[in-house]
Amino acid sequence: MEPMNETATKDEQDPQTGSERVFAFFRGKVLSGELRTGDRLPAERDLAAQLNVGRPLLRETMRSLAMLGLVDIRHGSGAFVGKADISVLTNFFTFSLAQEQNVSEDIMQARMAIECQAIRLACERATDSDLDRIGGCLTALINTLSDPEKGGMADFRFHAAIVQASHSQALITLYKAISELLMQNHVERRQVTHKTPKVIDDLVESHRQVFLSIVEGDGDAADHRLREHFAIGDELRRKSIIAAFSSGGMAE
């Protein structure tokens, strides 16, 4: 009777360890810069021997990495380093945070942290193209004031353009990861405020001041105006709720 394959036995007894070795190898090589997007990975046989895992387990783990966009498996050509799919991270955060209580408040705090740093960087790094994009988003916001859905999305794009103008890949990635929840939050807020003219006027002016602060390139002033904008937004939302449930609002 032939002796049992030691590697296969080890994987069968502790498959988690084998998978972790594959993930650790891939993560370590990418973090060290030894592997970059588009690089070809070692052949399956060689990689399995190097990591001391069975080929079936290696194949399964590589498929998991491919689902995340981290590996590009090309049949007949081999496996290559891919680029992570941000939508996977977005879906993870959306499903995970949506189940938490007071998620809107938590998301708002995260948004403030990201945007306040992003606007400081935007004051230093924004290009003419970035300023044109933010200005265009402001125009779209003004043109959609009567439509909660379109207006909320225009509001989101305005703030997303500011983060984009920071040219910080870390901030941009984090912002995209919570983008689904942010879009929902913007639309919900606009549904509450869009029927109150005074609220809308203040909202437009607040966005305009934030944009002008970026054009001026003063990071401290931009941070201050953005924080004021967040505070004004909360106050306007409270006022609009009060107006909606006043005797006049209930009669509409």
Clarify whether residues 143 and 245 are in a common domain.
yes
What pLDDT is stored for residue 244 in this prediction?
57
Looking at the structure, tell me whether residues 10 and 123 fall in a common domain. Answer: no
Other CB atoms within 10 Å distance of the CB of residue 235:
12
Q: Phi-psi region for residue 168, left (φ > 0), alpha (ψ -120 to 50) or beta? A: beta
User: Is the pTM above the cut of 0.85?
Assistant: no
10-residue block means of pLDDT along the chain (252 residues)?
45 63 89 90 92 91 87 88 78 75 81 96 97 97 92 96 97 92 88 75 89 96 91 65 55 42
Residue 70 confidence (pLDDT): 86
133, 31: one domain: no
Which of residues 35, 61, 81 is at a domain's end?
Answer: 81
Eight-state DSSP code of residue 40: B
Question: What is the model's pLDDT at position 76?
Answer: 83
CATH number for the domain that contains residue 18:
1.10.10.10
Q: What is the pLDDT of residue 4?
A: 44
Range of the domain at 118: 87-251
pLDDT at 119 (0 to 100):
98
Q: 57 and 12 share a domain? A: yes
Residue 109 inside a domain? The answer is: yes
Same domain, 115 and 137: yes
Domain count, the chain: 2
CA dist 156 → 6, 130, 141, 180, 237 (Å) = 56, 16, 9, 10, 16
CATH of the domain at 140: 1.20.120.530
| Same domain, yes or no: 182 and 139 | yes
How many other CB atoms sit within 10 Å of the CB of residue 36?
Answer: 9
- 53: which 2 tokens? 């895992």
Q: Is 94 in the same domain as 74? A: no
Strand partners, 78: 74
**Same domain, yes or no, for 127 and 10?**
no
Whether residues 132 and 241 fall in one domain = yes
Asked if the structure places residue 1 within a domain, the reply is no
Residues contacting residue 241 through CB under 8 Å, at least 6 positions apart? 192
Of the three residues 81, 103, 123, the one that is the final residue of a domain is 81
Choose the final residue of a domain: 41, 63, 81. 81
